[in-house]
Chain A
Amino acid sequence: SQQGEEDPQALSIQEGENATMNCSYKTSINNLQWYRQNSGRGLVHLILIRSNEREKHSGRLRVTLDTSKKSSSLLITASRAADTASYFCATEPQGGSEKLVFGKGTKLTVNP
């Protein structure tokens, strides 16, 4: 079963605009990770945020985590056509398991 729910399912923007994707999850977590996947390829790790962190930055990426609402957001600033991909959030549930539980992803299209 999939814990994470990304919102929106699809997003289309113009180059230079910001893109915001949201993720909600159901159970308590150790950490939450965001991944990018280009069509038919493997996943590229973007950023990991731990349950005791509220915000993290990496280059043009900004991730927030609200454990009280069980939600996270990924902001990509000044988007580029190369950012076109599917973006997944994945949670590592508390309780000893180290598996990641993924959502269905947000398909982002950045138009040149």
Chain B
Amino acid sequence: DTGVSQNPRHKITKRGQNVTFRCDPISEHNRLYWYRQTLGQGPEFLTYFQNEAQLEKSRLLSDRFSAERPKGSFSTLEIQRTEQGDSAMYLCASSYRGSEQYFGPGTRLTVT
């Protein structure tokens, strides 16, 4: 399967804990994006990378959120001190410049 993959698919955590998600993009894509989607809404942009450089971050990305793409391949999104409002689907996508963004299956986070 050469699509975008995300792990884990589901994560249940207690408030205050840290969580980390991983995204593996399509191998030849140099752009990687993170979005968050809550129930009944469309995805909202969080951040994106071109190779290993993080080029843009949304205001939605508070200080508790950090994303990395250390070698320009896979990326991780970490949420520290999780809050109930962080419960959402976290989606990763990859692309070439100016082309379609292809999405992974998402990681569903539930904070209890």
Contact residues of A with B, CB < 8 Å?
Answer: 2, 4, 30-31, 33, 35, 40-45, 48, 88, 90, 97-105
CA distance A42 to B91 in the complex (A): 7
Partner of B101, one of A40, A97, A100, A104: A100
Given contacts A4-B42, A41-B106, contact A98 B97 (CB under 8 A): yes
How many chain B residues sit at the interface, stated as a range, is 20 to 34
Q: Is the CB of B42 within 8 A of A105?
A: yes
Q: Which residue of A lies closest to B45 (CB)?
A: A99
B97: chain A residues within 8 A (beta carbon): 98
Q: Is the CB of B103 within 8 A of A43?
A: yes
A contact residues around B35 at 8 Å (CB): 100, 102
Given contacts A98-B31, A98-B48, contact A42 B41 (CB under 8 A): no
Taking beta carbons and an 8 Å cutoff, which residues of B are in contact with A? 4, 31, 33, 35, 40-45, 48, 55-56, 58, 89, 91, 93, 95, 97-106, 108
Nearest opposing residue in chain B for A105, CB measure: B42
List residues of chain A with CB within 8 A of the CB of B41.
Answer: 2, 104
User: Which of B48, B89, B98 is within 8 Å of A99, CB to CB?
Assistant: B48
Tell me if B100 and A43 are in contact (CB < 8 A): no
* Docked complex Cα distance between A42 and B94 (Å): 13
Q: Is the beta-carbon distance between A43 and B43 smaller than 8 angstroms?
A: yes
B43 and A45 contacting across the interface, CB-CB below 8 Å? no
Interchain nearest-CB distance for A28 vs B (Å): 16
The distance in angstroms between the C-alpha atoms of A65 and B45, with both chains bound, is 23
- Chain A residue with the shortest CB-CB distance to B39: A40
